[in-house]
Chain A
Amino acid sequence: MRKAYTRALSAAPAVLAAVLAALSAAAFFGAGAAAAQGPAKPAEAPASVSGRVTDGEKGLGGVIVVVFANDPQRRNLPAARTRTDSEGAYHLTGLQPGRYYVAPSAPTYVLRDMPDFQPGRPLNLSAGDAVDGVDFRLDPGGVITGKVTDADGNPVVGETVNVVSAEQSQQPRAVLRMPFDPRELQTDDRGVYRVYGLRPGRYHVSVGQAEGGGGVRTRRAFSRTFHPDATEQAQARVVEVRGGGEAEDVDIKLGKRLQTYKVSGRFVSAETGRPVGGVTFSVGLVINQRDRPRVGGTYMDGSQSDARGEFQTIGLTPGTYTVLTANDGSTDLYAEPTQFEVTDADVSGVVVRLRQAASVSGVVQFEGAVDRQTAARLYREMMVYGNLEPSARVWSPMASFVRPQPVGQDGTFTVRGLAPGRLRLSVMGGQPGRGGITVTRIEVGGVPVRESIELREGTPLAGVRVLLAYGSAVVRGQLNVTGGVLPPGARVMAVARRLSPAGETLERSQRAAEVDARGRFVIEGLAPGEYEVRVNIFGQGRSHNSEPQRISVADGADYQVTIPLDLNAPPPQRVRP
């Protein structure tokens, strides 16, 4: 399962990046939920949505249909819910204008023609909208169930079962609905598992770790075994799943437990050799991908090095690992890339040398007229963050993520704890419906920076100026598709990119919004200026994009655009997310 999941995600890196960004933002701002709910707005005429849920042509009664807010910070909060009637029809009323996702919640079924990452249809509702025909076709899913036992015949409790397609040629995609709960794949106290809502097809079912896979297990580990007791995938018995059917007794008999090992060591200052306590660390498995070492999975339990600088982690299976430190902006040190091998014994005495980190400081300033009060509010809500490409040998998402730092009352900021490398700075802030901020330019010592800022070891970089535009203009658009239909499960985004006076698009200065099932989109919070608006379509590993349209945006204005898109047009050009 894990493998299929990973493959499905890697097929859409842009989407992954978007999801990651959304998750990060939501998590950082305090796990979202009610956080994003601003003051109650005056009531506008409510909107409604209706449609039908069918299995083939047959209406499905009693299916829950949910409307979610299409907002990274509120994505998981159902705004309204109903059940379909005996004909499969549903009607949801009383929705406040806004951006939503509509989706049936029928986990025993598989949704047809839906993207894996967020099954459902986006809808941007205006006051008084009555949208009809938001239909969903479901196919009955299947069940695989069985029991997992160890070499002595005892049940294996709390172990995760992997379900992967046995078809080599099949387009990789998620086997289960998303977002799925990994606990649904775990065996219970009797060793019994039950996976439901599977797409009809042929599957291999396994438990345990692939040979040489490495990784950290805080519990016992087993080498990978396929149903019924094969250690090689070639010998695995194929499990046939039919829609609405149940494959029973898909039992797995595991072999011996894998030995796991312990690693211990200490963090020391490279400068003084003294131990460093209170370092939050993780241990990551190093894998080679396209001849470039990267971290394939990290294990972190929130533990920190003690007053003697010592750290320790258990449960390592053989492999190559690296010790990573969290860049939480609180320390002025970063870890030298430190690797160690686990073969057949505990590893001790790993010394991780911490070096003086670089820092970046400067000021965020508004271009154009922003009154003092608004500026003060925006500064309070603002965070400076970034993405670091360290010049270290091993790349990991942990090392590249720069924790957002607040901005002072006068717009000053400092980001500490940076490893040498190239830093792309960004700013987030503003509140939905209250205007947005856009980075227009970044300067270091008065010289504009094109892509990223180079950081040298232990060198503070001062005098960084981040220039922002603030505005509350809105672009409402309609996408008209000709020459075919959108690929099933496509994700459609509208992007407004700000143009420099010379007419070039500015990489950082863009605002995006999802295009809904009716082709509508609303891009909010635009600052006055020249923009290029286009629509990008991602789906099934392919992408299209529309011709750009230029708009001159005045402060606080509201614009309408129509974007034509001919799917028969010459080969789609690759777009950057």
Chain B
Amino acid sequence: MNSPRTKRPAAVAALLLPLLLCAAQGAARAQGNEAAPTPAPRTTPTPAQQPSGQQASGQQAAGQQAERPDGSAAPAGRPERGEEAPLGFISGRVVGEGGEPLPGVVVFGVPRVFAGPVYTRRTATTEDDGSFRLAGMGPGLYNLSVTAPGYVGEVDPQTGRLPGPFRPGDTVTLRMIKGGVVTGRVTDPQGEPVVGVTVRAFRVRDFDGRPGFAGFAPEDKTDDRGVYRIYGLNPGVYTVSAGGSGSFGGPFPTVFDRDVPTFYPSATRDTAAEVAVRSGQEAAGIDIRYREEQGHRVTGTVEVSPAIQALEGTLSVSLSYPAGGPPAGTAFMSLKSEVRTFSMEGVADGEYDVQATVGARAAMLGASPPQRVAVRGADLTGVKLTVAPLATISGRLAFERWTEADRARAECKDQPASTPPQEVIVSARAQRRTGERAAPVQRSFRSADATPDADATFTLRNLEAGRYHLAAAPSDERFYVSAVQLPAQAAQAAQAAQAATPARRADASAAPSKGAAQGDVVSLGAGQQLTGVTVRLAAGAATLGGTVTTREGAPQPSWSALSRVYLVPAERERAEDTLRYSEATPAPDGAFSFKNLAPGRYRLLARESGAEPAGPSARPVFSDPAGRAQLRRDAEASGAPVELQPCQRTTDFSLRLP
């Protein structure tokens, strides 16, 4: 009975679960979109750290490569369907700022990409020495999150995100820092305390300028004196608002839910003052003079095709700010109902994007194109949205053949022939539209991530119509992506492979045949289910790391988050191969690192990336031909030549600024 969850909330939770999962997935997507999908730098597990079972299967696999009609090796080490893959564990410690162990911290291990409808996670609590062990984890990539009241996980300074993802066999040290505090008092126009109003803190950006919103905004309610206190905040720059229903409403509504939020000090969203919140510090006196303004109402209807209506799902409409951040309103409605009308209250004057989505448990099924609307001094009625089905891309992962000759190289003696498919991230990113700027986080139907199953098949879901770049990132740095083949090209490649001799195809330095230069770009229609994509991985990847220095050889101190280091292919025939281009953001001390590189000749170049920060939809400049041409010209003029051999590990490259 003293359980924190009594039976009543549990019953409600059971009902709300599909919704929560959708929301959680939305949040996960939002987070995933904040930065490039490349895993954060991580150390390669030493053989001792590898779970024994996994290693055994890897060795066994090396001798068992099967030739396929297209000349690729079967993904080795994978079990037959139904056969149990070996289990591993992720262990480590949770420490505080001073390295002191933190006991009683809950550590969650959640799959990096939600794989289908099943949601599994592993949980552990740290012991007195801060140690934890997440056991029973199958091959795959996992994000770890840590929770302790008042603390937040320390982010990787290079990515601004929590370190990870991790693989079974990894040993990790997670640091937690004391969260920041925002406190103040909310009063009405007469100076009386406003009691029981919800106050929310939105992180606008982190101290490096990266967009800061990830999921829900922390909140508190004012007490009988009008005082609020929000603690456990990630460091960064915040706006603070009182009133309004928040992004998703809440289980504990207040009489202020239909108001327009009043931002600190007594402002609208556009004129809100920013509040800097630092780890372990208190931003006090953030007093809000509450405006008590009832907002306007936005109403409309949603059209849904009979095919979508027949599905089991939830229809929701969100109202989001074009500049990003948490939605200004969300409405849910019955998909089955004949008349699908929505109404969102408490909307302030301004411009918004309205979008309807149909989601089912852990999956989206359809979405309307976002529609820009303006609210000006009155209710807005008659918004019409039409939900279109979302597209999917599916395919498989294949491994280039790894020969005796390659294995004989001294640098390649630790090189396995394959990596578990579940530890590769396959992604699709919409091509930038002409003149398009960073899109808000809510518009998440323009990118998708997937991890293949044990049988090496993958499906990228929830994509709106458009042109997409396909890419993949193996988390094992000893592999690189040699080609992304679309169905037609895959067929051609298969024909070519039958004619080719195995020896020629296996030559790691000779590239596998690739289709057109734009081969990794695919065009999707609404609801299209594209199949037959092949992502080819090759062993023998190189890594290249080092430091950006000034002309005088000293580390560049004022290196900002807007600067980038580029690796540009030097071989002419690779000029249009986007897989051969790489981009890295150097750390504040100038350190940079490239992994999963194809052997070959390159030029290394440092330059400003342009005005756009690494936002949710930021795409590398080399994703369009003009950007590649410019990079090549710059690289030829001032880039440093680099030749990478199979399995080469360079960590001390010194790149001088031009």
Contacts and interface: CB of A to CB of B under 8 A. Distances in A.
Interface in B99-147: 104, 106, 117-125, 136, 138, 147
Interface string B415-428: 00000000000000
A213 B2 contact: yes
B87 to A, nearest CB: 8
B192 interface: yes
A143 interface: yes
Contact of A33 (B118, B195, B332): B332
A310 B120 CA distance: 9
B115 to A, nearest CB: 9
Contacts of A20: 8, 11
Interface string B328-339: 000111101111
A459 interface: no
A297 B224 contact: no
A312 B122 contact: yes
A192 B336 CA distance: 48
B104 A257 contact: yes
A31 B342 CA distance: 13
Contacts of B196: 105, 107
Contact of B149 (A158, A179, A184, A285): A158
Contacts of B136: 264, 306, 308, 310, 312
Contact of B3 (A76, A108, A215, A312): A215
A475 B8 CA distance: 33
Contacts of B341: 34, 37-39
B583 interface: no
A299 B314 contact: no
Interface string A262-300: 101000000000000110101001010000000111111
Nearest to B220: A183
A306 B123 CA distance: 13
B231 interface: yes
Contacts of B337: 380-381, 431
A258 to B, nearest CB: 11
Nearest to A208: B2
Contacts of B334: 29-30, 35, 381
A219 B220 CA distance: 20
Contacts of A30: 19, 314-316, 332-334
Nearest to B343: A34
A197 interface: yes
A64 B255 contact: yes
Contacts of A27: 12, 15-16
Contacts of B345: 34, 77
Contacts of A66: 255
Contacts of A218: 106, 123
B516 interface: no
B118 A219 contact: no
Interface in A317-345: 326, 328
A422 interface: no
B20 A2 contact: no
Interface stretch (A130-138, A351-359, A395-403, A532-540): A395-403
B331 A33 contact: yes
Interface residues of B, number: 77
A34 B298 CA distance: 11
A361 interface: no
B20 A302 contact: yes
A214 B4 CA distance: 11
B121 A189 contact: no
B5 A299 contact: yes
Interface in A234-276: 257, 260, 262, 264
Most buried by B among A77, A106, A297, A310: A297
Contacts of B658: none
Contact of B118 (A189, A210, A306): A306
A488 interface: no
Interface in A73-91: 76-78, 81
Contacts of A480: none
A411 interface: no
B1 A3 contact: yes
Contacts of A565: none
A189 B152 CA distance: 13
B119 A380 contact: no
Interface in B237-281: 249, 252-253, 255, 257-258
B336 A381 contact: yes
Contacts of B119: 302-304
A409 B509 CA distance: 61
A406 interface: yes
Contact of B21 (A2, A23, A262, A302): A302
B88 to A, nearest CB: 13
A66 B257 CA distance: 12
Contacts of A78: 255, 257-258
Contact of A189 (B12, B181, B221, B333): B181
B17 interface: yes
Nearest to A220: B104
Given A105-B255, A303-B120, A401 B11 contact: yes
A257 B188 CA distance: 42
A380 B333 contact: no
Contacts of B312: 406
Contacts of B13: 300, 302
A285 B1 CA distance: 8
A381 B123 contact: no
Given A38-B339, A197-B224, A398 B10 contact: yes
A168 to B, nearest CB: 18
Contact of B7 (A38, A157, A296): A296
B143 to A, nearest CB: 15
A287 B7 contact: no
B123 A2 contact: no
Contact of A298 (B5, B87, B343): B5
B342 to A, nearest CB: 5
B351 interface: no
Most buried by A among B13, B249, B316, B345: B13
Contact of B195 (A107, A299, A308): A107
Nearest to B21: A302
Contacts of B303: none
A189 B252 CA distance: 22
A531 B277 CA distance: 65
B221 A77 contact: no
A157 B6 contact: no
Interface in A140-194: 143, 157-158, 160, 179-181, 183-184, 188-189, 194
B4 A215 contact: yes
A202 interface: no
B382 to A, nearest CB: 10
B150 A158 contact: yes
A314 B3 contact: no
A261 to B, nearest CB: 10
Interface in A99-137: 105-108
Contacts of A34: 331-333, 341-345
| Nearest 6 pairs of A and B residues by beta carbon | A215-B3, A297-B3, A158-B149, A30-B332, A189-B231, A196-B224
29 contacts: A3-B1, A24-B11, A27-B15, A28-B15, A29-B334, A35-B331, A39-B339, A39-B341, A105-B196, A158-B149, A184-B223, A188-B229, A213-B1, A215-B2, A216-B3, A219-B106, A219-B147, A220-B104, A285-B1, A295-B7, A298-B3, A303-B120, A304-B119, A312-B122, A314-B124, A314-B125, A326-B14, A326-B17, A381-B337
Interface of B: 1-8, 10-17, 19-21, 84, 87, 104, 106, 117-125, 136, 138, 147-150, 179, 181, 188, 190, 192, 195-196, 220-221, 223-224, 229, 231-232, 249, 252-253, 255, 257-258, 294, 299, 312, 314-316, 331-334, 336-339, 341-345
Given A2-B6, A30-B19, A188-B231, 12 more contacts: A28-B15, A29-B334, A33-B249, A34-B345, A196-B224, A210-B1, A215-B1, A217-B3, A217-B4, A264-B136, A297-B7, A313-B123
